[in-house]
Structure 1
């Protein structure tokens, strides 16, 4: 069999590859169909469309293997005249057409979008099998002529509302690529962010915020807070405050979205949404963490006020401040950082003191040279006992090792 398949493949490497096409297509229904149709693809380049269309149409509509019929659809689209799309449309609508063949025809239609028959196929595919819908969603904007991108983007929007969960997920993942050619999708994206029946991960949230614009974060948060307020279920293993969980997820996604922004980018919409959430005491922890991660340690005064009279929140937020310092893309100016520590320490309260301790740990990277050692010593003399204790957990002799 290997020798026979090698011989089939060699037929197209003669001086007349066009003459090999009829021979190769005779194997379209056999066990050697895969090899024969692969070779037929090269032979088809050398055959005039007037000769090519009839023989490939015979394979497409005949009793050949599905693999052969799929390849015939591709070759007709690639090498045939525009009228072949009508033939493909008829085959697509045939009641006995295999779903894989239909999906191959949908993929072929993407290559001939100027033809009205292609749009008929594509629109039908959005309501078709999962394989057909995926064939629609596999397109990227750079494969579709510019003037047709708004119409194709509308197909992606339709797929976002499919009944198949996986198709919806894929469609929303693609939606951002098509958003430059779409209008009026903010409600669609907001509904997705707040649909508690849909599972989601933070990276999906970040992508949806990019698609719908950062302004939709505030709308989504407001909707979810209202939903949580109206939820009188105390929680159980089956469902435990789903709106609250989604709010935390959106905050995480917003942080990822912000991280993808250049340092100088405008984060006003994200920050304003976090401030709005901070005004709801039940969500202060999520809001303060979000504000820490959206800033560059230039908003600690605001965050400290939100933690006033909430010692547990202050302690958690201080840990977040320390992590944020470590994760900044660009290290802060040492002089500005030590000035911030001095200012926070001088206020004498718990929250600002804990923030100062979180920042002073950075002194290990400077070998506790002046002024870092002096700042830590001052924190060990802080008016608040909990701040003093936290400052003493830092071991300067261990190059920043924190004792238990």
Structure 2
């Protein structure tokens, strides 16, 4: 039976295989003119697609080949973000894409991604235990598995802040896809999320800050000057640790802030501050000037003691061998004084275990701390100047479970008085 003739206004709609097809002449993002086809099982469905395609062609360039979300994100990370953004920005985006976006949306075609798809997916992410989804517990050695891999789901759902960061990364990527004319609208923009509430920490009083600095000075803490700069001048921890002696003018009593020390995936990077407004030349109060002079004497003594093992970096705050210090960068903490405060509030040590080894290389400590409302567990290697893993916990019971897992039931551990 011959096909019905095209009706007025239908344009280039024609029978194709088991349905119908249509095309529109469009301009591609590279400026070339070509045909773009749409397909459907019925003439009415193809007609609707054909009308929408005509509208897109009138608005501007139209992509004729569209990648999947996953392949576009891979190119976006490698060609746009990595060469043109800070290393920490790239590392953050790459982690979010790899852990959350690619597994959930990576197989979808970019131009077919709808706001309802993004909303459904991000709602699912917000209520899914990521330890189960990402296999975190099963990736541990068999004797160290403690939750999801042994049938006890830890319910490690992402926080509202994490969910907001996931949406922000997807929105940034799709904004670039929109700029490249791969999509007409950004489907991540209308997505609704739970409100992120920031908790206000309790600041130290002047008396508490003074007592802390006096204690650090009496102990001849090599980071005493860094503490003074953070508390008195208001430097960020990265700016304090990124100071070089070239930035400090002890005679004029000034310091210049222009660099920061930043940890990105285990590597310490000495790089420019985040924004130009962070760069400044600041006068040094007497307490900071005296502390930096004392730090200069400490550095000279450490260099003499280290001998040929000394690494000259010109950094103000270093280890006893001259390498960049990591003491102010505990892995899971964002506060500068993790041994003294929790989330900006004073805390007490609830329980403390020690493995009995007094050497710097072999010493291990596990702490449970609380500020009365929140709890944290810290596993420390090499004493207070060594490395630590800090993990916040929602309750005392969960803190005890985590501490027991880190202790591992080994007999050499002994509990010390807090």
Q: Which has the higher helix share?
A: 1
Range into which the TM-score falls when normalised by the shorter chain: under 0.3
Q: Which has the higher strand share?
A: 2
TM-score normalized with structure 1 length: 0.24
**For the pair shown, which has the larger CA radius of gyration, 1 or 2?**
1
